[in-house]
Amino acid sequence: MKSGETSKAQPKLRAPDQERLRSELNDYMLKRGLRSTEQRRLIIDTFFDAHEHITIDSLLKLVRAVDARVGYATVYRTMKLLSESGVVQEHKFGDGFTRYELSDDDAHHDHLVCLECGKIIEFEEPQIEQLQEKIAKRHGFLVRAHKHEMYGLCSDCQKPKGQRSARSEGRGARS
């Protein structure tokens, strides 16, 4: 960061309330008569412990490290269930992968997506939230959810190739 930059320290993002989301999920499953199988529990526990924006493949790898019998389809169906329950939000950030993260209305954030290295930066901006509400109101629209995504180059990927941090080198190609 340049020294002259007037950057207010980015306020720390509020973390999703895991305990509340868990109990919401339990209620949802009870209401639907969905059994909490051993594999399902493992997948859900692993997901709650994992970092955000995880793909099915990454989640499957983590789950299989504990129980090698778990299949892709089970992970996929479990994540679908979590999305339907509203506890999890699905994102398609344009790299061909669906990513999942805990969705807490009280800890809402939006995303900056780097097209070069795939980095996903989260931000919270009350002014954008208020503006969106204003726009909705103007149209007599009741907002249930919104997504705000910006695509471009992260600060690292704007540097000449040799000066980038090791992290952003070479991930450009989609696998």
Residue ranges in contact with Zn ion by CB under 5 A: 101, 114, 116-117, 119, 122, 154, 157, 168
Instruction: For Zn ion, give the closer residue by CB, 40 or 111.
Output: 111
**Cβ of residue 116: shortest distance to Zn ion, in angstroms?**
4
The CA distance from 130 to 110, in Å, is: 14
3-state per-residue secondary structure call for 84-144: HHCCEEEEECCCCCEEEEECCHHHCCEEEEECCCCCEEEECCHHHHHHHHHHHHHCCCCCC
Which two three-digit tokens encode residue 92?
């398609």
Residue that has been written with the tokens 């868990």 in this structure: 22
Instruction: For Zn ion, give the closer residue by CB, 29 or 56.
Output: 56
Q: Are strands 110-114 and 149-152 parallel, antiparallel or unpaired?
A: parallel
Structure letter (DSSP) for residue 166: G
**Cβ of residue 124: shortest distance to Zn ion, in angstroms?**
10
Instruction: For Zn ion, give the closer residue by CB, 85 or 168.
Output: 168
**Cβ of residue 121: shortest distance to Zn ion, in angstroms?**
9
Instruction: For Zn ion, give the closer residue by CB, 39 or 98.
Output: 98
**Cβ of residue 167: shortest distance to Zn ion, in angstroms?**
9
